[in-house]
Amino acid sequence: MARIFSGIQPTGIAHLGNYLGAIQNWVALQEGNESIYCLVDLHAITVWQDPEALRAQTRTNAALLIACGIDPDHSILFHQSAVHAHARLAWIFNCVARFGWLSRMTQFKDKAGKDREAVSTGLFVYPNLMAADILAYHATEVPVGDDQSQHLELANDIAQKFNHDYRTEFFPAIHPRIMNSTARIMSLRDGTKKMSKSDTSDQSRINLTDDNDTIAQKIRRAKTDPADLPDHPEKLETRPEARNLVGIFAALANVSPAEVLREHGNQGFGHLKERLTELVITKLTPIREETLRLAGDSTHIDQILQAGAVRAAAIANPIVAQAERLVGLLPAA
Ligand code: AQP
């Protein structure tokens, strides 16, 4: 039985990219594994968040994960700030990871953009906290979208350097579990940018709680190009928007892009968009309805998260205490 860890930032409401790239994989991996899923609120505040909105989004995303099929009686579901072991280990990793390693992280470069001087130092050391999230549990399997593979390589580098510097084999190697077919869902407004909660345009993503009219409208307005759909996936390479819509369709219908093009190739986008709308609505309607039901009882959600935090801390605290001893910190009284 493997120990699985993964997280999602409560920076907004989870979207179809989060679902296809990560959450549906998390649900499947519960079977036969020890799974730990975390609302990473400490990561969220690397970019300023409205405090009330952050609290509300943490609860709504917890409800969403349960509505998607995460079973809090089986998996450990909690919010990161409730388990202090994450921040303690992250500080040690801040002292292990090298400045040059972090400078090469493409997500930092993307998020910082041209205004590097003005972003928080938390955003820069974000990958160290992510390494701590995983390694505080000695988790070895990490299901993420492929936008996170560089961060996972870095987490392995940090684990190795820690082991080397302190002459130990304390931290295990991490194996990314990336589902290639749905690894990266792109923005509906720009097929070269990933679908993201923090994109300023709500039209760029399908939130998992969007109602049916909103879903239909967003797909109708999704950017395309003037040519017909091709008859073969190779011809999608230079057509990012077409490739994205075909990819989303294939993921939701559980077929290959070639099969999607067999039915929709050599035609305009109209029919594909209509069928895609039906697929998305069929998938998201039960998730939305269950989320709204669960989110109506915030006391119950808080109880679930607190119970998850107690179980998470029981695993992470002894591991992080041992890391602190290896580094030479005095034992806690
Ligand atoms: N567009 C995507 N396609 C596939 N997978 C995705 N993931 C995120 N976006 C896509 C995967 O979802 C998990 C949780 O992501 P996150 O909330 O930790 O942060 P993120 O990757 O930075 O996602 P966002 O939506 O872009 O959030 P913001 O805007 O807050 O930065 C991860 O496993 C991720 O791979």
Question: What is the predicted pLDDT for the residue at 184?
Answer: 86
Q: 58 CB contacts (<8 Å, ≥6 apart)?
A: 10, 39, 41, 79, 305
Integer Cα distance of 192 and 189 in angstroms:
9
Whether residue 256 contacts residue 180, with contact meaning beta carbons closer than 8 Å, is answered with no
- Counting from 1 in the atom list of ligand 1, the atom nearest the Cα of 199 is 29
For the residues 307-330, what does the mean pLDDT come to?
97
| Predicted local distance difference test score (pLDDT) of residue 194 | 92
Residue among 98, 102, 25 nearest 68 (CA): 25
Instruction: Report the pLDDT averaged over residues 83-94.
Output: 98
Integer Cα distance of 107 and 43 in angstroms: 13
Give 241 Cα–ligand 1 centroid separation in angstroms. Answer: 19
How much is the pLDDT for 328? 97
pLDDT of residue 160 exceeding 90, the answer is: yes
Residues 295, 298, 300, 302, Cα dihedral to 10°: 120
Cβ of 143 less than 6 Å from ligand 1? no
pLDDT per position as a tens digit, 111-131:
898 888 999 999 999 999 999
* Residues taking part in catalysis: 111, 194, 197
pLDDT tens per residue across span 260-313: 999 999 999 999 999 999 999 999 999 999 999 999 999 999 999 999 999 999
How many angstroms separate the alpha carbon of residue 172 from the centre of ligand 1? 25
**Segment 169-185 mean pLDDT:** 85
Query: Residue 173 pLDDT > 90, yes or no?
Result: yes
- Indicate the pairing of strand 76-79 with strand 34-39: parallel
- Average pLDDT, stretch 73-102? 98
Distance in angstroms (rounded) separating the CA atoms of residues 167 and 170: 9
Distance CA 40, CA 36 (A): 12
Average pLDDT, the chain: 95
> DSSP letters of 230-279?
-SSGGGGTT-HHHHHHHHHHHHHHTS-HHHHHHHHTTS-SHHHHHHHHHH
Task: Assess whether the C-beta atom of 196 lies below 6 angstroms from ligand 1.
Answer: yes
Burial of 219 (0-12, 13-18, 19+ CB in 10 A): buried
Helix axes 85-96, 298-327, angle to 10 degrees: 40
In the chain the domains, ranked by start, together with CATH numbers, are 3-184+297-327 (3.40.50.620), 202-293 (1.10.240.10)
Task: Say whether pLDDT at 81 is over 70.
Answer: yes
**pLDDT classification of 85: cutoffs 50, 70, 90:** very high
Distance 127 CA to ligand 1 centre (A): 14
Using the predicted structure, report yes or no on whether residue 180 has a pLDDT greater than 70.
no
The answer to whether the CB of 133 is under 6 A from ligand 1 is no
- Per-residue pLDDT of 126-149, as tens digits, reads 999 999 999 999 999 998 878 889
pLDDT per residue as tens digits for the range 49-60: 999 999 999 999
**pLDDT score for 23:** 94
Mean pLDDT of 41-50: 97
Q: In residues, how long is the chain?
A: 333
Q: Is it the case that residue 333 has pLDDT exceeding 70?
A: no
Its pTM stands at 0.94
